[in-house]
Amino acid sequence: MEEKIFTRRDFFRAAAGAAVATALGCGILEKAQAQPAAKVVLIRNAGVLSQPDKMQEILQSMVDEAVKALLGTSEPLEAWGKLIKSSDVVGVKTNVWAKLPTPKALEGAIKRRVLDVGVPEKNMDIDDRGVLKNPIFHRATGLINVRPLRTHRWAGIGSCLKNYIQFDPDRPSFHEDACAALGKIWGYPIVQGKTRLNILSALTPQFYGRGTNVDPRYVWPYGGLIVGTDPVAVDTVGAHLVQVKRIAFFGEDQPMDSLPSHIVVADKKYHLGASDLNRIQLIKLDYSQNEIDIHTQQRGSWIRKVYRGDQVEFGL
C-alpha cells in the first residue's frame, strides 16, 4: 500500500474547515465562523533560555502574564483564582518523555500558583504515566494540562489533546488513523469538564523528526508558551507554528508523516473547541528589554499584538 503523506497546505485546509464544508455543506462553515472566537495567548521571552539561572523566575512571569491576558485581569492571583478554587483537588498532567519533557521550572510555576490560591499541597499532584493509579487524579475536580510542542510520528503533532492519552490503559489503540480519536478520551469521567488550563510549551519545540529520535537540528530556541482554556485552539496555534517553522527551515512545503487531523476531529466530532484559525483570537506577548513599562517606568515591558486567522507574525 502506498503511504500517504500530508503537506502544510493539507493541514491549513483542514484547520480552516474546508474539508468539512465540502462534505457537509458550506452553511456549516459559515455558521462556525460566526461563532465567538476562542482566545489563545502566545507569550515569548528570549531570556528564559539565555538566562538559565533565572529560568524559574522568568517562567513564573510568563505564565502569570499569559493567564492575566487570557482572563483579562491585572493581577496574577486574581486570574488564577478564576481558574482554581481553594476547595479544588488539582491534578497537573505533565509529560515526562525523556528526550523533550515538560521543564521542571514550568511545573514549579504552575504548582506555586495552585498553592497560592489556597489549595492544600495534599490536594494536588503532578503526574504523567501514573495518572490512572494516582488517587489525586481520581479525586480531581480540576486539571491543568501542560506538555512540550513537538512533531509526532503517529499524531503529526504532540499536542495538549494527545497529552491525555495516559488516561486510557490501551494507548496503542489510539494510534490508528493518525490518532484521530484522541478527543474521545476527553469525555471519560476522570477528565470530562475538569480541565481549567492548557499550556503548550514552545520553549524549544521540535518541528521535524522521524520515530523516537530527536535531532538537535530540528529543535529551535523559540522561548514561548501557548496558553488557553480551549485545548483545540491551543493545539491549532501550536500546529500552525510548527508548520510555519518547517516552511522557513526547508524552504518548501515539506510533507509530514501524519496530518494532525486529531485536532480538527476534536472540534468537528467531539466538540472540544475551535480548530479554525479564523475563530481564534491570538494575543501575542513579546518581552522587550528595550521598552519602558508604562506602570513601573522601568526598562523591560511586554509588547502586545492581537491576531485573527493565519496572518500571525510568529517571529521565528
pLDDT tens for residues 64-91? 999 999 999 999 999 999 999 999 999 9
pLDDT at 31: 46
Spatial distance between the Cα atoms of 231 and 145, rounded to a whole number of angstroms: 9
Higher pLDDT, 17 or 78: 78
Answer yes or no: are the C-beta atoms of 91 and 143 closer than 8 Å.
Answer: yes
Tell me: pLDDT of 23 over 60: no
Burial (0-12, 13-18, 19+ Cβ within 10 Å), 297: exposed
Integer angstrom CA distances of residue 96 from 83, 101, 163: 24, 5, 10
Q: What is the pLDDT of residue 211?
A: 63
Which cell goes with 243?
508548520
Torsions phi, psi for 274 (to 5 deg): -105, 120
For 174-210, write each residue's pLDDT tens digit.
Answer: 988 878 999 999 999 999 999 999 999 999 999 988 6
Task: Return the closest-CA partner of residue 196 out of 142, 160, 126.
Answer: 142
Lookup: cell for 88: 479544588
* Mean of all residue pLDDT scores within the chain: 86
Please list, in sequence order, all residues whose beta carbon lies within 8 angstroms of the beta carbon of residue 94, skipping any fewer than 6 positions away.
Answer: 101, 102, 107, 126, 127, 128, 146, 147
Sign of CA dihedral 211, 55, 82, 136: positive
Q: How far apart are CA 206 and CA 193, in angstroms?
A: 30
What are the CA-CA distances from residue 276 to residues 16, 38, 240 (Å)?
5, 10, 11
> Residues near 155 by Cβ (< 8 Å), separated by ≥ 6?
162, 178, 179, 182, 258, 260, 262
Q: Is the pLDDT of residue 300 over 80?
A: no
What is the phi/psi pair of residue 24, to 5°?
A: -115, -10
| Residue 225 reports pLDDT greater than 80 | yes
Mind listing the pLDDT tens digit for each residue in 243-275? 999 999 999 877 777 789 999 999 999 999 999
Q: How many CB atoms lie within 10 A of CB 115?
A: 16
- 3 state SS of 95: coil
How many whole angstroms separate alpha carbon 189 and alpha carbon 253? 40
How many degrees, rounded to 5, is the angle at CA 95 between CA 130 and CA 211?
A: 110
Tally of CB atoms within 10 A around 34: 8
Separation CA 21–CA 9 (nearest Å): 16
What is the pLDDT confidence band of residue 313, given thresholds at 50, 70 and 90? confident
- Which residue, chain included where needed, has cell 485573527? 308
